[in-house]
Amino acid sequence: MENLVDRLHKNRDLPDDELKTLIEEFVAPPLGARAAHPQILENADRIPALPQAKPESFAITAEGNKQEQELFEKADRVRREHYGTDVYIRGLIEFTNYCRNNCYYCGIRADNQSVERYRLDGDEILSCCKHGHELGFRTFVLQGGEDNFFSDDLIAEIVAEIKALYPDCAVTLSMGERSGDAYKAFFDAGADRYLLRHETANATHYNQLHPGGMSLENRKNCLWNLKKIGYQVGSGFMVGSPYQTSDFLIEDLRFLQELQPDMIGIGPYISHRNTPFHDFQSGDLRTCLRLIAIIRLMFPRALIPATTALGTIDGQGRELGLKAGANVVMPNLSPVKVRKQYELYDNKICTGEEAAECRMCLENRVTTAGYKIVTHIGHVKKGETHPRHNT
Ligand code: SAM
C-alpha cells in the first residue's frame, strides 16, 4: 500500500484523518499547551478546556522519523521541480510598531505600555529601499501594525514613490485590515502583493486569539477583496498558537485550498512576556517543519518563507525550513535603531545587525543549506489550481 507521504505527493491532498496523522503523529509536545494564565481568566467563558495530549505523542519512534524524513525529501523534490534551488529574498521594512489592535499573542499590541513606539517617515522608508536596492533586493515588504497615522492616501503616496524610483521592484504590503477601497488605491498606486495571515480558519479559535471587535469574517473578507483586486496574496498562520488543535490546523489547510494564495507564511507562535498569552508555551520546530512540507506538497508552486520566527526557536530553523520545502527568506532592511522595538515575540533574532550583515548572514545560511539566493523580482510561478477547486 502506498504510504501517506506518497499519496499526498501524488494527489496533493489527503482526507482529514490522514492529514492529521501526518501533522501530529510522533511529534513531541502537545499543541497550544496552556500554563497558569491569570490575565486571560476574565475570558474563561470563551475558552474551552484544552484537549489532553496523548502520552504516546511524546515518543518519536524510528518509524516516525523515517516518515518525517520522507516527507521532507518529497517536499524538497517538489520545490526543486518548480523553483530549482532558487531562494527568493524580500527586504523587510518594519515601518511602524504602533497598532490599534490588541491581539492576545502579539508583542506590539496596543495595550502593551512597555513598547517604545516608532514610525518611519516617507524619507526613511525610501532610504531603506535605496540601501536594499544596492544590496540586490527587488522586493520590498512594508510591514507594520495597524497604524491610523498612515492614512490610505499616505500609503498610496509612499507606494507610488517607491515604484517610481524602483520600477524593477515589487512592493508588498503587510499592514492588516483596511477597506476594499484602500486596498484598491494601494494597488492602483503600484503595490503588487499583500500579506495577511488569516491566523486561524476556525472562528472559535479566532475569538480566543483576538478580542471582540476583530473577526475571522472580516479577515477573510479582506483576503477575498485583495484577491479580487488582483494582488498576489499571501496568507498563513502561527503553528502552536494557544488553544490550537490539529483539527484547527486541518481547517487552516482547507481554507488555504479555497483561497489558493500565492504565498503561504507559517511560523511558530512564540510567547511574549508582556502579552496576556505570556505563559503559553511556544510552537515547536518539528510541527512547523512538517507543516511546511505538507503545504509544499499541497501547494507545489507556492512561495513559502523560512520565517524569522522559525530562526528564533531554533538556530538552524530557517535552514531546516528551506530543506522542508520553503523557498523565500526575508532579511531585515529596517534601520537598526528601531529593530528591537518591532518585537512581536521574545528573543526575536536579527535585531542588532545592519541590513548588509543580515543579507550576508542569510546568504551564507541559504548556501550552506544547499540552495541559492536569487535577486530577481521573484514572482510566484503560476500553475494549475488544486483539483478540488477546478470545478
Ligand atoms: N498588522 C499586520 C497584520 O495584522 O497582518 C502585520 C503585522 S503582524 C505583527 C504580522 C504577523 O506577526 C501576524 O500575522 C502574526 O501571525 C505574527 N505574530 C504576531 N505575534 C506573534 C507571536 N507572538 N509569535 C509569532 N508570530 C507572531
Query: Could you report the per-residue pLDDT of 188-234, keeping only the tens digit for each?
Result: 999 999 999 999 999 999 999 999 999 999 999 999 999 999 999 99
Residue 391 placed within a domain = no
Residue 384 placed within a domain = no
Residue 109 CA to ligand 1 center (angstroms) comes to 10
* pLDDT digits 0-9 by tens, 270-294: 999 999 999 999 999 999 999 999 9
For a mutational test of ligand 1's pocket, the pick from 193, 238, 264, i.e. the residue with the most ligand atoms closer than 8 A to its C-beta, is: 238
Q: Give the pLDDT confidence score for residue 199 in this predicted structure.
A: 98
Residue 356 has pLDDT above 70, yes or no: yes
Residue 223 placed within a domain = yes
CATH, residue 154: 3.20.20.70
| 170-195 per-residue burial string, b: 16 or more CB within 10 A, e: under 16 | bbbbbbbbbeeebbbbbbebbbbbbb
291 and 251 in contact (C-beta within 8 Å)? no
Residue 130 has pLDDT above 70, yes or no: yes
Residue 182 has pLDDT above 80, yes or no: yes
Quick count: other Cβ atoms within 10 Å of Cβ 351? 17
Residue 385 placed within a domain = no
* pLDDT digits 0-9 by tens, 143-169: 999 999 999 999 999 999 999 999 999
pLDDT category at 25 given cuts 50, 70, 90 is: low
For a mutational test of ligand 1's pocket, the pick from 98, 106, 284, 307, i.e. the residue with the most ligand atoms closer than 8 A to its C-beta, is: 106
Residue 389 placed within a domain = no
**What pTM, to 2 d.p., does this model score?**
0.91
**Amino acid residing at 328:** V
Number of domains the chain is built from: 1
Residue 386 CA to ligand 1 center (angstroms) comes to 27
Domain range for 274 is 4-47+57-379
Atom of ligand 1 nearest to the CA of 270: 24
Q: Give the pLDDT confidence score for residue 286 in this predicted structure.
A: 94
pLDDT category at 387 given cuts 50, 70, 90 is: very low
Residue 387 placed within a domain = no
Residue 344 CA to ligand 1 center (angstroms) comes to 7
* pLDDT digits 0-9 by tens, 35-90: 434 344 334 343 333 333 333 334 456 777 888 999 999 999 999 999 999 999 99
CA-closest residue to ligand 1 atom 26: 269
C-alpha cell at 340: 528591537
Average pLDDT, the chain: 90
- Give the chain as a 3 state SS string: CCCHHHHHHHHCCCCHHHHHHHHHCCCCCCCCCCCCCCHHHHHHHHCCCCCCCCHHHHCCCHHHHHHHHHHHHHHHHHHHHHHCCEEEECEEEEEECCCCCCCCCCCCCCCCCCCCCCECCHHHHHHHHHHHHHCCCCEEEEEECCCCCCCHHHHHHHHHHHHHHCCCCEEEEECCCCCHHHHHHHHHCCCCEEECCCECCCHHHHHHHCCCCCCHHHHHHHHHHHHHHCCEEEEEEEECCCCCCHHHHHHHHHHHHHHCCCEEEEEECCCCCCCCCCCCCCCCHHHHHHHHHHHHHHCCCCECECCHHHHHHCCCHHHHHHHCCCCEECCECCCHHHHCCCCCCCCCCCCCCCHHHHHHHHHHHHHHCCCEEECCCCCCCCCCCCHHHCC
CA-closest residue to ligand 1 atom 19: 106
Residue 180 has pLDDT above 80, yes or no: yes
